[in-house]
Amino acid sequence: MASEVILQVINVSKSFGGLRVLNNVNLSVKKGNIHALIGPNGAGKTTLLNIISGLEKSDNGEIVFKGKSLRRLSSYKRARIGITRTFQNLELFSDMTVIENVMAGMYFKRESGFIASGLKLRKVRKDEKDIANRSLQILDFFELSHKKDEIAKNLPIGEQRLVELARAIASEPELILLDEPAAGLNIKETKTLGILIQKIRQDMGITVLLIDHDMELVMKICDFITVLNFGEVIAEGEPIVIQKDPKVITAYLGEEF
């Protein structure tokens, strides 16, 4: 499979005070892959995701998306060119309804001005209707359309995660970053999530870069795995290779094992 690279992380380093969280990290995500980023707690995974999505700045190095450097792009601009994400500690618009959350994900596609909105021009109404319809389709995909009018924070955690995922999908990204999507989910929910992630890739053609601690999920759905430990890439390869890599086993289980 010689598919093209959609995202490149080149020599990225990041320190918080004296603590070096990422050290010359290099990583390539191929288009259409489900790519996992794993590693013990504190390995710098979330920081790397934050840097890719523009929420944090790297000290040096470069993020290249579809051949273009993201250096000068702030977070919302990165979303507009096709990178969206979900969060480990949910960042839902908690006082809005489920469908409003998803609609917000589509806002930038049909932005209209204050005056047009205040005067409720025909175009504004049509755009909103289109967005509502499309959002409903997306909720259907996640089997959540029956809960569309519920306030997001009243849903169970598992469903909140799906709403967040639906919102990220609504922006029609080419690359989606998932930060521990299975955290707080039970076995059954995790299984459903795995199937959904695969469907997102297959049906929508979205490349996935995900962090998770659930090895069963990671090994099952991912095409490629990068292992981080103390801010450095210690191994990468296909799941079967990673499972047997002695360095990875040591990182996870300690020297004596």
Partner 1 sequence: MKKDNALTIFVFSLLILIFPLIYKDTYLLTIGIFIGINALVAIGLTILMGYAGQISIGQAGFYGIGAYVSAILSLYFGLPVLLSMLLAIVVACIVSIFIAIPALRLKGHYLAVATLGFGEIVYLILNEWGPGGPSGFGDIPRISLFGYTFTTSYEYFYFVWSIVIIVMIFSFNLINSMTGKALKAIHGSETASATVGINIVKLKIKVFILSAFYASMAGAIYAHYVTFLSPSSFSLFYSVMVLMMVVVGGISNLWGGVVGAFIITILPELLRGFKELDVLVYGIILTIALLFVRKGFVPLILEGYRRWLQK
At closest approach, how far in Å is the CB of 104 from partner 1? 4
Q: Is 151 in the site for partner 1 (CB under 8 A)?
A: no
Question: What gap in Å lies between CA 8 and CA 194, rounded to an integer?
Answer: 25
Residue 6 makes CB contacts below 8 A (sequence gap 6+) with: 29, 30, 31, 65, 66, 174, 175, 207
**DSSP category for residue 151:** B
> What's the Cα-to-Cα distance from 156 to each of 50, 79, 99, 147, 164, rounded to whole Å?
26, 27, 16, 11, 12
Question: What gap in Å lies between CA 241 and CA 238, rounded to an integer?
Answer: 5
Q: Which is closer to partner 1, CB of 152 or CB of 193?
A: 152
At closest approach, how far in Å is the CB of 107 from partner 1? 5
Q: Which of 6, 22, 36, 92 binds partner 1 (CB under 8 A)?
A: 92
The alpha carbon dihedral of 54, 108, 114, 118 has a sign of: negative
Question: What gap in Å lies between CA 110 and CA 240, rounded to an integer?
Answer: 44
At closest approach, how far in Å is the CB of 113 from partner 1? 8
Q: Which is closer to partner 1, CB of 167 or CB of 224?
A: 167
Question: What gap in Å lies between CA 55 and CA 158, rounded to an integer?
Answer: 25
**3-state secondary structure (DSSP) of residue 60:** strand
Number of residues engaging partner 1 in binding (CB under 8 A): 44
Stretch 64-83 residues interacting with partner 1 (CB under 8 A): 74-80
Stretch 113-132 residues interacting with partner 1 (CB under 8 A): 113-114, 117-120, 124, 127-128, 131
The CB-side HSE value for 21 (13 A sphere, CA atoms) comes to 19
Stretch 167-186 residues interacting with partner 1 (CB under 8 A): 167-168, 170-171
**Which stretch in 29-37, 155-163, 165-173, 216-224 sits in contact with partner 1 by CB under 8 A?**
165-173
Q: Which of 20, 30, 66, 110 binds partner 1 (CB under 8 A)?
A: 110
Beta-bridge mates of residue 229:
232
At closest approach, how far in Å is the CB of 63 from partner 1? 15
**DSSP category for residue 38:** E
**Which stretch in 26-34, 106-114, 199-207, 227-235 sits in contact with partner 1 by CB under 8 A?**
106-114
Residue numbers at the binding site for partner 1 (CB under 8 A): 53-55, 74-80, 84-85, 87, 91-96, 100-101, 103-105, 107-114, 117-120, 124, 127-128, 131, 167-168, 170-171
